[in-house]
Amino acid sequence: MSALTIRGLSKFYPGGVVGLHPTDLTVEGGERLVLLGPSGSGKSTLLRLLIGLETPDAGEILVDGVRIDKLPPHQRGIALVPQRPALFPQMTVQQNLETVLPRPERTLPAAILELLRLGELLRRFPHQLSGGETQRVVLAKLLIRKVSIWLLDEPFSGLDPVFRAKFRQELHLLLGQTSATMLFVTHDPADAWSLGRRVGVLGEGVLHSLSTADELRSRPTTSFVASTFGGFNLFDGGIERLVSPSDPSVESKLVFVSECGSVRIAVPDHSGLRFESTHRLTLGIRPEDVRSGPAEQSAWLLVSAEPAGSGWLLTVAQGRTRLRMEWRSGSPPPVGTPLEWILPPERLHWFDGRTGRRLDV
């Protein structure tokens, strides 16, 4: 089991395009770490730096404490499964697998062929394989090579959703059979939930957070993490101090008002947050934490209802402001119905509007 460490690793492309800001990260030996980030956030850049297909501007890469960043790719003990893996097109699956057979071995290990159900595919050529079958062959190559560190670059992205779920299961089974260290990058939170004990969130070349999937969702460290990983509702706005017009001696209340003006929430007294030092705020709440109910008077109208798990995910809107909420009490009302909602104070998450940082850390 090999540990992979990077220190201050960075990459900027010509024209100042950010690939990766200086980043520190350790993937422990045998760990399965998932990095989640939208398109263009630097996921492939990081993996290409690790494997040696890209030269860093600064920083170090270490495997088990030994620097490897000056070594050529094939000597690093790291294998990359690219987004669209390629096999030698003129060779059969069997011949492709044999190219990585360590000498002096002569036959492909039966256990690996069985595990990945490759028996029937051995005589086929790459163009006769589906996307999922190609991925299985590529994973078999890693197992046969006995590489100790695997980098997987969105291996599910080329697969249709049905095969994606199936392949995810297969990957789980496979990982049970190997002690390889794995760094897996994806834009799909479902992959992060399913595969990573620890999950990092990457945005514009910055590693925002590294934590368990549960922690990321229950206490996101930035508003970016909240939206990327947790699917939070987020509202930008500011704080107003409300003084009772009838009796100015009554203690004033703090109210969060969203930029659009349509979300107004009394700031809980016990929140312990010093809001007045922050001019701009972002309020976050998860769809499952929003309480809902029908209302004749509400200015918020139901605009869509999609099945989600055992219930529904509803979107209500007032003008251009939208709020997503879960609905578990039977079928949702028809689109166009006015709906009332409540944001329970203890379920609110507050972020600095400028830096995006969580305020109650």
Nearer to Mg ion, 43 or 358 (CB): 43
Concatenated DSSP letters of 223-252: HHHHHHHH--EEEEEEEEEE--SS-TTSPP
Contact letters for ligand ADP, residues 153-192 (x by CB under 6 A):
----------------------------------------
What's the full length of the chain, in residues?
A: 361
With b meaning 16 or more CB within 10 Å and e meaning fewer, what string describes 198-229?
bbbbbbebbbbbbbebeebbebbbbbbbbbbb
Kindly state the number of chain residues that form the binding site for ligand ADP, as judged by CB under 6 A.
Answer: 11
Nearer to ligand ADP, 96 or 209 (CB): 209
19 binds, among Mg ion, ligand ADP, none (CB under 5 to 8 A by kind): ligand ADP
41 binds, among ligand ADP, Mg ion, none (CB under 5 to 8 A by kind): ligand ADP
Tell how many helices (H) and how many strands (E) occur in the chain: 8, 20
CB 206, min distance to ligand ADP, A: 12
Please identify which residue in 10, 32, 43, 131 interacts with ligand ADP, judged by CB under 6 A. 43
Q: Yes or no: say if 62 and 55 are a contact pair by the CB < 8 Å rule.
A: no
Interface region with ligand ADP, contact rule CB under 6 A, candidates 12-20, 70-78, 137-145, 157-165:
12-20
* R_g over Cα of the chain: 25
Please identify which residue in 9, 36, 37, 186 interacts with ligand ADP, judged by CB under 6 A. 37
Estimate to the nearest angstrom the gap between the alpha carbon of 280 and the chain centroid: 26
Nearer to ligand ADP, 4 or 46 (CB): 46
17 binds, among ligand ADP, Mg ion, none (CB under 5 to 8 A by kind): ligand ADP
Please identify which residue in 5, 10, 23, 41 interacts with ligand ADP, judged by CB under 6 A. 41
Using the rule CB under 6 A, is 23 a contact of ligand ADP? Answer: no
Using the rule CB under 6 A, is 52 a contact of ligand ADP? Answer: no
Residue with tokens 């089991």: 1
Cis, bond preceding 307 (omega within 30 deg of 0): no
83 burial via Cβ count (<10 Å: 0-12, 13-18, 19+): middle
Interface region with ligand ADP, contact rule CB under 6 A, candidates 40-48, 128-136, 337-345, 351-359:
40-48
CA quadruple 271, 277, 283, 284: dihedral sign: negative
Strands, sheet with 58-63, edge to edge from the N-terminal-most edge strand: 17-27, 4-13, 58-63, 66-67
Using the rule CB under 6 A, is 237 a contact of ligand ADP? Answer: no
Please identify which residue in 2, 5, 44, 258 interacts with ligand ADP, judged by CB under 6 A. 44
Q: Yes or no: say if 233 and 287 are a contact pair by the CB < 8 Å rule.
A: yes
Nearer to Mg ion, 20 or 305 (CB): 20
CB 37, min distance to ligand ADP, A: 5
Give Dmax (Cα) for the chain.
Answer: 91
40 binds, among Mg ion, ligand ADP, none (CB under 5 to 8 A by kind): ligand ADP
Please identify which residue in 22, 29, 30, 40 interacts with ligand ADP, judged by CB under 6 A. 40
Nearer to Mg ion, 44 or 221 (CB): 44
Closest CA to 180 of 320, 63, 324: 63
Q: Yes or no: say if 4 and 26 are a contact pair by the CB < 8 Å rule.
A: yes
37 binds, among ligand ADP, Mg ion, none (CB under 5 to 8 A by kind): ligand ADP
List contacts with ligand ADP (CB under 6 A). 13, 17, 19, 37, 39-45
